[in-house]
Structure formats: C-alpha cells, structure tokens
Amino acid sequence: MDWYPGADEDLLLRTPARFASGLAAPVAGCRWFRDPRRDDIQGELPGWPPGPVHTLRGTGDRVARRTGRALAFGIPLLANLVANIAGASGSPFGSVPTTGTPEERENEIDDFPVMWAAPGTLARTTPWQLDPDRRPEGYTTDLVLTSRRLLFLGTRTGTIAKADVLAEYPREALAGARRMRFSEVEADVKLTFEDGSWIRLFTGNPDSAKRLAKVLEGTVDALRESDLTPGQRDRVTRFLAALPAGAQLPTFRRLSSGIVLAEARVPVKAGKDLHETHSILMGPSGEPAKPQPGDL
C-alpha cells in the first residue's frame, strides 16, 4: 500500500477525489473557483499553476455537447438492447450513466463553482492537484477520512511509491458533506468546512459520496479492525487475498442488525478516477450473513 493511517487513528474511508465538472449544457465540462461575490479567485490561490479559463457555453456549444452525450450514452444503450434481444444477459457494452435532478440551479446550471471560499478560509488551502486541468498526466488524487483527520493524497499511476500527502485537516475543521446527485454517476459531494467555505468533488462512486456524508454526520457505526472477532479477522484476510492487485485498505462498519460490512475499493480500467467496491457481510464468527431490513 502507498499510505497507512497513524497508530493513533483508524481508517474510515478512502476514495478517489477530484474537483467535479459541470453536467448541465451551459456548464458542461467546466468548473470555477469563486468567492462569495462569485468572483473568480483561481489567480489568488497561492502556489497554484495557471489553468484554463472556462466560459459559459453558447447555444452551438450546448447542441454539440448534447449530441456528444447522446452518442456516448445512446450507443451503449442500443447495443445492450440488441445484445439482450439476441439472448445475452447483462450489459456487455457498459451501463448507461445516470444523473439526478438539479438541486442548486445557481451552482449547477447558471454557474458551476467547485470552490466557494472567502479570503482566509480553508477551502482556499485545498491542493491544486485536485484539478484535472492542472495536475500532471498520470497523477491521481484520493480523499482519506480517518478518526481524527481528513487528508488528500496524490499518487502516480503505475508506481508503488509512497503517496504524497498534499493537505490534511483535523476532523474538527469539517462541518459536513452532502451528496450532490446531479452529477456524473451521482458521485459528486459538497464538502463544507466549519468556516463556511466548501469544495465540490467527484468521488468516482455514488457509494463513496453517500458514505462520506454519513460518516461526517455520525450516522455510520464505523469499526476498527481490532474491534472484529478472531473469526471475522480471519474472514477478512481471505477476502483481501482474493481481491485484484491495487485494492485499498478495507473499512468496516456495523449495520443496524449487528452484522459487519467489510469493504475494499479497487480502481477500474473503464474510466479515469473510477473504482468498484468489493464487500462481504459477516456474522459474529465471520460466517456469511444476509442484510436485514434497515441495514443498507
């Protein structure tokens, strides 16, 4: 592994994270860095390299973007229909991306800020490597949440070198997180600091966005590996041994019925910054368990 938590903390969540991109036609593929007056502040951020200056898309651009999205989404849908008519099961050409409904028109259609920060606020200290338009080719960023801090890590694709710790914040500096459903695969999250500043991130998986929000709300009963029974720890060892290369450290939580969910994330080749979640449900002795009503 490229990073391990300290001896005085427990890993609660690790997920790919980067600044999100607009989805609605006027802001598609764009992102802005704003202060509360909606002024662009990317030139004020210390140490940030130059980046592109995005502008709202005109009617012609919007039509082109809609056409491109129709081709990207419609071809897999049509191919899957043909495959299913022919008798194939599943979606061999990939699933069709889904999005939610806009919740904040001013921040999702008329504009698309991924940083909202007055001078001196914590959002301005988040690392520039979270911006796909600025970070080096082949460089990826992760968000890590532990029992005492939040970190942003940077890694280079294809290496096993130690991850770069780009920034870290104490848990007390975080006000909460909200999953933003109007986004690519519904995987955006708005992370808010105690000073009122916020950033909007794409997490690569809707479960990650939902989990981050719940952990910060305190509604998830997160466990340490040392909290597991010997039988559960043995089951986790076998679970991890069967995972593909590149799997991350697992996280554990106790569900409402008392059974334990162990999860580990693995990067996928289908898309940049995307990952899939592998999980098992365990009873008290590590035996397979089934979820009960209210568990998931």
Domain that holds residue 133: 11-58+96-219
117 and 215 co-located in one domain: yes
CATH code of 53's domain: 2.30.29.30
Categorize the per-residue pLDDT at 89 as very low, low, confident or very high, splitting at 50, 70 and 90.
very low
pTM check: above 0.85 = no
Q: Are both 183 and 142 inside the same structural domain?
A: yes
Residue 27 located in a structural domain: yes
The highest-confidence range among 17-31, 151-165, 260-274, by mean pLDDT, is: 17-31
Residue 37's pLDDT is 97
Contacts 24+ apart (CB under 8 A), 59-64: 62/25, 62/26, 62/28
Does one domain contain both 147 and 18? Answer: yes
Same domain, 206 and 236: no
Overall number of domains in the chain: 2
Confidence bin at 59 (pLDDT 50/70/90): low
208 located within any domain: yes
Residue 85 within any structural domain of the chain: no
Q: Judge if 245 and 174 occupy the same domain.
A: no
Q: Are residues 107 and 196 in the same domain?
A: yes
Q: How far apart are CA 189 and CA 183, in angstroms?
A: 9
77: in domain: no
Nearest to 129 by CA among 205, 54, 17, 3: 17
Residue 245 is predicted with a pLDDT of: 79
> With bands split at pLDDT 50, 70 and 90, how would you rate the model's confidence at 23?
very high
DSSP state, 162?
A: P
- Tens of pLDDT, residue by residue over 108-140, are 999 999 999 999 999 999 999 999 999 999 999
Helices (H), the chain: 59-85, 105-108, 206-217, 230-241
189 and 235 co-located in one domain: no
Q: Say whether both 125 and 264 belong to one domain.
A: no
Mean pLDDT over 192-216 rounds to 93
Please report whether residue 80 resides in a domain: no
195 and 230 share one domain:
no
Domain membership flag for residue 276: yes
Say yes or no: 145 and 212 in one domain. yes
What is the percentage of the chain residues whose pLDDT exceeds 70?
81
Residues 256 and 198 in one domain: no
What three-state secondary structure class fits 148? coil
Q: Are 290 and 30 in contact (CB under 8 A)?
A: no
Q: Are residues 100 and 48 in the same domain?
A: yes
In order, the DSSP letters of 59-97 are: HHHHHHHHHHHHHHHHHHHHHHHHHHHTT--S-TT-PPP
